[in-house]
C-alpha cells in the first residue's frame, strides 16, 4: 500500500482512510503496509506510527494488516513495536538494512525480534534495499512459532522457487511485483503483493480470481496485459513508483499526488503521458 501524503510529506490521514476503504471495497485480501513503495525509508518514527494508526483504524479488522518496522537497531524496532502494540495488526515485516551481516547475525536478528514481538514477524526479502533473506535463514527460522512467513521481492525465478518450496501451513511465502503475480500463483503462492494494486486493484483481483477459477490461459493473458500497461508509464528517478501510483489515485479521487520530500512528483509532461496510457487501456476515469 502506498501512503497518501500531505504537501509537506506527512501522512494524509483522511487519504489513508479513503485508500484503505477503496482497496477493501475492490476486493483486496490484505495489506502490506510501510513497504518500500510506501516511501518507508524516508518516514520518521512519528510518521510511521501515524500511518499504522490510521491504517488500522480504517481497516477495523476487516482484512489482515502486516506493517513494516523500517528501522535498523533491535532496540529501536522493539520500541516501535511497543508503540504500535495496541493496534489491530496481523504481523510486522522486517527488512534487514545491514547488507554486510553474515548468515548467523541475520538469523539472530529475526529470531530475537520474533521472541519479543507482540505480533508475528515476517521476513522481507528485498535485495535492492537490504540484506537478502537466504534459503539457509528460511530453513532455520520457518519453524519459529512467531515467524509468519517471508515476502519474496526481486525477480530471480530460482530464489522465488526455492522459497516457495518451504511454504507450509505454518509458514507462508508471498510474492511481489505487478509483473509476476501469475508466475507466483503458478508456483504455489496463495497471496501476492504489488503497489500497483493500490492504483488499480480491480485488475489484480480479476487476475487472481481468473487464476483460481482454473482458466490459466486467460489469467496469463491478463498478466501480460498488466505488464504492457506498466511498461507504458513514464518513470521517475525516485527508485520507487509511489509518485506514479499516487498520481493515478489522484485521478480516481482517492488522494493527492504528494510524495515525501526525498522524492519528486510527476511533471506535466509525465502526467499527460500517464493519462494517455490509462485511456488507451480503457480506464474511463483517466479522461
CATH no. for residue 245?
A: 3.20.20.70
Cα–Cα dist 225/70, whole Å: 33
Domain assignment present for 8: no
Q: From its phi and psi, is residue 47 left (phi > 0), alpha (psi between -120 and 50) or beta?
A: alpha
- Phi, psi of 200, rounded to the nearest 5 degrees: -140, 70
Domain assignment present for 5: no
**Other C-beta atoms within 10 Å of 222: how many?**
21
Contact in structure between 189 and 180 (CB atoms under 8 Å)? no
Cα–Cα dist 93/68, whole Å: 5
Q: What is this structure's pTM?
A: 0.96
1-21 in b/e form (b: 16+ CB < 10 A) is bbbbbeeebbbbbebbbbbbe
Domains in the chain, number: 1
Domain assignment present for 202: yes
Query: What is the predicted pLDDT for the residue at 30?
Result: 97
- In which order are the strands placed within the sheet that holds 31-33? 31-33, 65-68, 91-94, 121-125, 147-152, 172-176, 192-193
Domain assignment present for 183: yes
Cα–Cα dist 90/118, whole Å: 10
Domain that holds residue 140: 13-286
3-state class (DSSP) for residue 239: coil
Query: What is the predicted pLDDT for the residue at 125?
Result: 95
Cα–Cα dist 283/71, whole Å: 38
pLDDT in tens, the chain (287 residues): 999 999 999 999 999 999 999 999 999 999 999 999 999 989 999 999 999 999 999 999 999 999 999 878 899 999 999 999 999 999 999 999 999 999 999 999 999 999 999 999 999 999 989 999 999 999 999 999 999 999 999 888 899 999 999 999 999 999 999 999 999 999 999 999 999 999 999 999 999 999 999 999 999 999 999 999 999 999 999 999 999 999 999 999 999 999 999 999 999 999 999 999 999 999 999 98
Q: For the chain, state the CA radius of gyration.
A: 18
Domain assignment present for 224: yes
Domain assignment present for 1: no
Query: What is the predicted pLDDT for the residue at 124?
Result: 97
Domain assignment present for 6: no
Q: What is the DSSP letter of 11?
A: B
Q: Which three cell numbers stand for residue 23?
A: 482497496
Query: What is the predicted pLDDT for the residue at 186?
Result: 96
Domain assignment present for 7: no
Amino acid at each position: 500500500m502506498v501512503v497518501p501524503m500531505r504537501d509537506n510529506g506527512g501522512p494524509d490521514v483522511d487519504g489513508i482512510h479513503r485508500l484503505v476503504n477503496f482497496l477493501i471495497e475492490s476486493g483486496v485480501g490484505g495489506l502490506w503496509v510501510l513497504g518500500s513503495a510506501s516511501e518507508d525509508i524516508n518516514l520518521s518514527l512519528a510518521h510511521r506510527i501515524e500511518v499504522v494508526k490510521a491504517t488500522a483504524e480504517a481497516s477495523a479488522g476487516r482484512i489482515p494488516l502486516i506493517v513494516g518496522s523500517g528501522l535498523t537497531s533491535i532496540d529501536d524496532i522493539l520500541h516501535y513495536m511497543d508503540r504500535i502494540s495496541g493496534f489491530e495488526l496481523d504481523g510486522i515485516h522486517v527488512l534487514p538494512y545491514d547488507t554486510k551481516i553474515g548468515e548467523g547475525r541475520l538469523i539472530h536478528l529475526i529470531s530475537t525480534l520474533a521472541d519479543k514481538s507482540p505480533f508475528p514477524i515476517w521476513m522481507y526479502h528485498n535485495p535492492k534495499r537490504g540484506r537478502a533473506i537466504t534459503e539457509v535463514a528460511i530453513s532455520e527460522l520457518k519453524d519459529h512459532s512467531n515467524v509468519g512467513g517471508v515476502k519474496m521481492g526481486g525477480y530471480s525465478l530460482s530464489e522465488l522457487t526455492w522459497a516457495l518450496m518451504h511454504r507450509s501451513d505454518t509458514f507462508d511465502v508471498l510474492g511481489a511485483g505487478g509483473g509476476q503475480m501469475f508466475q507466483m500463483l503458478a508456483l504455489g503462492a496463495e497471496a501476492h503483493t504489488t503497489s500497483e494494486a493500490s492504483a488499480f486493484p480491480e485488475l489484480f483481483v480479476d487476475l487472481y480470481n481468473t487464476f483460481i477459477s482454473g482458466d490459466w490461459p486467460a489469467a496469463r493473458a491478463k498478466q501480460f496485459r498488466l505488464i504492457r500497461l506498466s511498461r507504458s508509464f513514464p518513470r521517475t528517478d525516485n527508485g520507487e513508483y509511489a509518485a506514479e501510483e499516487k498520481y493515478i489515485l489522484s485521478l480516481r479521487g482517492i488522494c493527492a499526488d504528494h510524495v515525501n520530500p526525498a522524492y519528486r512528483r510527476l511533471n506535466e509532461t509525465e502526467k499527460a503521458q500517464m493519462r494517455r496510457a490509462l485511456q488507451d487501456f480503457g480506464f474511463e476515469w483517466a479522461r
